[in-house]
Each structure stands twice: as structure tokens, then as C-alpha cells.
Amino acid sequence: MPYQDILGVFDLQQFNKANGSLSVRTPVDGSELAKLQETPEANMAQIIAHAEQAFLAWRSIPAPRRGELVRLLGEELRAAKQELGRLVSLEAGKILSEGLGEVQEMIDICDLAVGQSRQLFGLTIASERPGHRMMETWQPLGVVGVITAFNFPVAVWAWNSALALICGNAVIWKPSEKTPLTALATHEIAKRALKRFGDAPEHLLQVVIGGASLGNALVESPKVALISATGSTRMGRAIAPKVAARFGKCLLELGGNNAMIVAPSADLDLAVRAITFSAIGTCGQRCTSLRRLIVHESIADQLLPKLLNAYKSVPIGSPLEQGTLVGPLIDQAALQAMQHALENAKAQGGTVHGGELVDGVKGGAYVKPALVEMPVQTAVVQEETFAPILYVLRYKTLDEAIALQNNVPQGLSSCIFTNDVREAETFVSVTGSDCGIANVNIGPSGAEIGGAFGGEKETGGGRESGSDAWKAYMRRQTSTVNYSRSLPLAQGVRFDI
Ligand code: NAD
């Protein structure tokens, strides 16, 4: 299908301007898809003020009614799934089934949020004073600024916005400057839902197009109650102190350096499938991509040839073609970062298999996934290189494997393949993985919407999506009501006048 047909569905031509300063390129072949006008930084104060007005109206609408808007959004996303999925493939370079999977994730979070809109439960708490009732209520928070990365160009917006909306907030979205077209298309879809809903306040959902300086305007504004930022640890390090300086709230979803431990009792065929999907799927460009394989020394020589075989047979090419399993890296800079990491790995004692350039589609950054045997966990292994590089380390004891797994600055996702219940339980116990996600006999990537998603340490500590992640989008209020005729003070304090 020609690119213009994919773009045409959402009438994206309206945003394409000859004098646009943001050139949007497809990783498929590096060609230019559009030139967009960026949102002037000078407009940000007005945009934030509009969002604040929208919030003041939206917060008074009952939460189940707010859920109706998200239900309609889910319906519109279902109707547009094929078209938006294809656009994700074109703009972010994911294979078609992953592009569609990303839209499915948006639909899933809408479903979850609709149910949640009737369950914004608080607590009643036993008061120590007679004739008193204590309770906890969750109130809408305000304007939520959502800053997103290129690799999940639309799902992360949905994770945040579906919950933010039912919680009574207005949202301003600053998508990655590498994937603004999918954001504009998503905004068009959201407009359809808003139209059907009828009486939502204007400016409830806004999108701004541009780079870090627009994100920074959200970060620095005291009117933006919550900054939910997804991207590199470098970005998190830049924005977190600024949000903290104004005592704002921050929800950070940053880099990962995810590991799998393969124990002697593991089902190796299962492990090979999980390793290949999570290490080379999305061309290694998921925050949860598998980057470190920690294999017991007794099975390493059995497992590695199986993996090398699987790596050789994987179809690499245009993500828009049926049958492709590995598409391109996002751009030439990502390719250089990968080559640089492989050079460093060699210099640090690594043996590299793969990693060469591939004749994919001319103009795109197509590479063979790399498997790198490392003698120890050197500096390069401790970094997140956003590319399909899998470092392989060998271990003798489970304690050593868990120490290796935890001994990196990041703490997003982790897993163990074992059929030994003691090992499995140890891995998910207090002395096991220190990550936000710890799986058994499942790879580290491809989380479901129902669980809280996020990680520890340099991954930023945020949680999004399911479980009680909705609480991040609300303000907690504790109220004590005295229905007695006296005024006892807590802790038995006396203050009689
Ligand atoms: P990036 O950090 O380069 O950019 C992410 C977003 O932050 C973009 O919208 C960018 O414009 C904005 N930004 C960058 N610097 C900023 C600043 N100083 N102030 C305000 N905004 C700023 O990341 P990327 O290359 O788009 O994405 C890849 C990274 O994202 C990887 O590290 C990956 O692990 C991470 N990621 C994490 C998760 C997660 O849930 N933990 C999910 C997806 C991606």
C-alpha cells in the first residue's frame, strides 16, 4: 500500500505544510512523510490555561459519565484499529502485527478504565474519637502533561489518558518528535469520540507537536499537576528535578536493562521462543526488550547454538510486508549507537555474533540482531542500548545469577526460566529480582494491561495501566467528620478554654 494511502485515512495532509519545520521520516526507507508546523513555545501558556479551564468543568462530571467518553474512545479505536496500526508501522517501523497490537493495547486500557470509572474507591478508617468518622476520598488532580517516546507512539498516551480522563483530569500530550503523525491521527480518533459524547469541555484533550522544549514548558508549569513522562533515563534525569522543584507530581517510565535467567531445569524450547521474541522483536526497541541473558554454565553450550540458529532464520525487512519479524531501527543515529555499543563490547572482552547491516529496504537502518558473549558484566552491559543486542553471561549459583540480574542501574523487567519451584519462588521473593516486573517462564516484554506497569531505580519508579495505577492521577483527601456534641482531640491532648 503506498504511503500516501496510509496517511490519507486520517486526513493528515491538512497538517503537511511546505514551510513546516518538523520533517517526519519513516524508518522503513528514511523518506519524508510530512513537514509539520511545530506548536510555538509561546503558545504553551495559553494551551495550559485552556486545559485548566477544561479540567474545572470536567472534574464535576460524575466519574461513570466520564467513563462513557472513554467507552466511546474505545469504540472509535476498534473501528480504526487497522488504519492506526498500519500508521504505527509506517512511522515507528514496527511490524504490522505489533502495530495492531499497540492499538489493541489502547482498546484494552479503555475497557479497563471504563470499569474503573465506577470504582474510584476510597476507604473508611476507624477513628480513635467517639462520634467521629474518618474517610479517604480520591479527587481529580488537574492538568496532566503526557510526554511520550517514539517506540510506543500511541499506546502510552492511551494508558495515561484513559485513566486521567475517568479520574477527572484534562490532558496535554507531547508525543515524540519522531512520531507526531500517529499522535495527530489518534487525536482525530479522540475527536470522533468527543463529538459523540457531546458535552465534554473544549480543550479536554490537546496535542502539541515539537521537541523537548515543548515538553519542558509542561514540566516547568506549576499549572500542570502531573507530568507523566516516558522515555530515556537521560530525559527523566533532566525533568524530575524541575518537577520536584515546584513540588509537582511526576510519573516516570524510563529506560530498562532487562534480564532473563535460564536455570538448568528450564524448558529450553520455551526459553528460545521467549528469548527471540523479547530480544529481537520490535528490533530490540521496547523498554522491556531482553538485553541480558544469564545462563547456567551447564546448559549454555546447549542453548547458544539453538539461539544462533533462530537468529539466522529470522526474516528481516520492511515492517509493512507480511512475514517480516524484524523491522528497521528508528533512524541512523540508533544504528550508530548500536555499532558503537558492539565496538565497546568487543573492547571489553565480548565475542559478537551478528550485528551486521542488512540489505533491507534502501534508506532504512536494517541490522542483524546481535548476540554477544561476555566474560563478565562490563560497563557496556550495564547500559541500555536501544537496539537488538543480547549480552550473554554464564552463572554457577542462583544467588550469583540474581546478583548479576540486579546489579545494573535500571530496574524495569526481569524473568527466570526454571521448572524448579524453589528457584521460581526465590526469584519473585524479597531476595529475588529488584525489578518492577518479575516473571516466571515468560519473557520480560509484552505485559498485559491488568497489572501495574513500571520499574524501579533508574527506570523511574512510576506505575501505569492496571491494578491501582489510577491513583497516580488523583489527589488523596482524608476527611474526619465529627457528628458528636463534643470536641475530643486526638492522642488525648487537652486544650480546654
Ligand atoms: P527520549 O528520552 O529521547 O524522548 C522521549 C520523550 O521525551 C520525547 O517526547 C522527547 O521530546 C521528550 N524529551 C526529551 N528530553 C526532554 C526534556 N529535557 N524535557 C522535556 N521533554 C523531553 O526517548 P526515546 O528515544 O523517544 O524513547 C526510547 C527510550 O524510552 C528508551 O530509553 C526506552 O527504554 C524508554 N521507554 C520506556 C518505557 C517505560 O515504560 N519504562 C516505555 C517506552 C520507552
| Whether 411 contacts 458, CB under 8 Å | yes
Measure 175 CA to ligand 1 centroid, in angstroms.
9
pLDDT category at 209 given cuts 50, 70, 90 is very high
3-state secondary structure of 440: strand
Q: Residues 217-235: pLDDT tens digits?
A: 999 999 999 999 999 999 9
**Is the model's pLDDT at 109 over the cut of 90?**
yes
Name the strand (E) or helix (H) holding 452. Answer: strand 452-453
Query: Ligand 1 atom closest to Cα of 455?
Result: 41
CATH code for residues 258-440: 3.40.309.10
In one-letter notation, the amino acid at residue 317 is: G
Cα distances (Å, whole numbers) of residue 434 to 250, 352, 409, 467, 494: 21, 28, 11, 19, 47
Dmax of the chain from CA atoms?
A: 87
Q: Residues 304-325: pLDDT tens digits?
A: 999 999 999 999 999 999 999 9
Q: Residues 41-93: pLDDT tens digits?
A: 999 999 999 999 999 999 999 999 999 999 999 999 999 999 999 999 999 99
Measured between alpha carbons, how far is 495 from 17 in angstroms, rounded to an integer?
71
Residue nearest to atom 22 of ligand 1 (CA): 212
Cα distances (Å, whole numbers) of residue 76 to 64, 103, 191, 202, 222: 19, 11, 10, 19, 33
Helical ranges in 372-445 per DSSP H: 398-406, 421-427
Chain position carrying cell 486526513 = 11
So what's the pLDDT on residue 2? 76
Measure 385 CA to ligand 1 centroid, in angstroms.
13
CA angle (331 as vertex; 328, 333 as ends), nearest 5: 130
Measure 48 CA to ligand 1 centroid, in angstroms.
21
pTM for the predicted model, two decimal places: 0.98
Measure 252 CA to ligand 1 centroid, in angstroms.
10
**Is the model's pLDDT at 397 over the cut of 70?**
yes
Residue limits of CATH 3.40.605.10 in the chain: 4-254+460-478
Chain position carrying cell 540489505 = 359
So what's the pLDDT on residue 361? 82
pLDDT category at 22 given cuts 50, 70, 90 is very high
Residue limits of CATH 3.40.309.10 in the chain: 258-440
Query: Ligand 1 atom closest to Cα of 218?
Result: 20
Candidates 146, 147, 253, 385: which one to mutate for ligand 1, based on the most atoms within 8 Å of Cβ? 147
Query: Ligand 1 atom closest to Cα of 256?
Result: 34
Q: Residues of the chain with pLDDT > 70: what percent? A: 100
**Is the model's pLDDT at 146 over the cut of 80?**
yes
Q: Residues 485-496: pLDDT tens digits?
A: 999 999 999 998
CATH architecture assignment, domain 4-254+460-478: 3-Layer(aba) Sandwich (3.40)
Average pLDDT score over the chain:
97
Residue nearest to atom 42 of ligand 1 (CA): 287
Q: Which DSSP category does 40 fall into?
A: P
Query: Ligand 1 atom closest to Cα of 412?
Result: 41
Measure 254 CA to ligand 1 centroid, in angstroms.
7
Name the strand (E) or helix (H) holding 294. Answer: strand 290-296
pLDDT category at 1 given cuts 50, 70, 90 is low
Ligand 1: lining residues by beta carbon, under 6 Å: 147-152, 174, 176-177, 211-212, 215-216, 219, 230-232, 235, 238-239, 253-256, 287, 384, 386, 412, 459
- Cα radius of gyration rounded to whole Å, the chain: 24
Residues 158-185 have a mean pLDDT of 98
Query: Ligand 1 atom closest to Cα of 152?
Result: 43
Q: State the cell numbers at 107.
A: 482498546
Q: How many residues comprise the chain?
A: 497
Measure 148 CA to ligand 1 centroid, in angstroms.
6
Q: State the cell numbers at 201.
A: 469541555
Q: Which of 11, 51, 71, 231 is nearest to 141 (CA)?
A: 51
pLDDT category at 241 given cuts 50, 70, 90 is very high
Candidates 151, 152, 213, 224: which one to mutate for ligand 1, based on the most atoms within 8 Å of Cβ? 151
Active site residues: 253, 287
pLDDT category at 3 given cuts 50, 70, 90 is confident
Backbone phi, psi, residue 367, to 5°:
-135, 155
CA angle (211 as vertex; 210, 213 as ends), nearest 5: 110
Residue nearest to atom 30 of ligand 1 (CA): 231
Are β-strands 413-417 and 437-440 bridged in parallel, bridged antiparallel, or unpaired? parallel
3-state secondary structure of 105: helix
Contacts of 433 (CB under 8 A, 6+ apart): 402, 405, 406, 414, 416, 427
Measured between alpha carbons, how far is 25 from 19 in angstroms, rounded to an integer?
16
In one-letter notation, the amino acid at residue 320 is: L
Q: Which DSSP category does 223 fall into?
A: T
Q: Residues 441-476: pLDDT tens digits?
A: 999 998 999 999 999 999 999 999 999 999 999 999
So what's the pLDDT on residue 72? 98
pLDDT category at 8 given cuts 50, 70, 90 is confident
Q: Residues 340-356: pLDDT tens digits?
A: 999 999 999 999 999 99
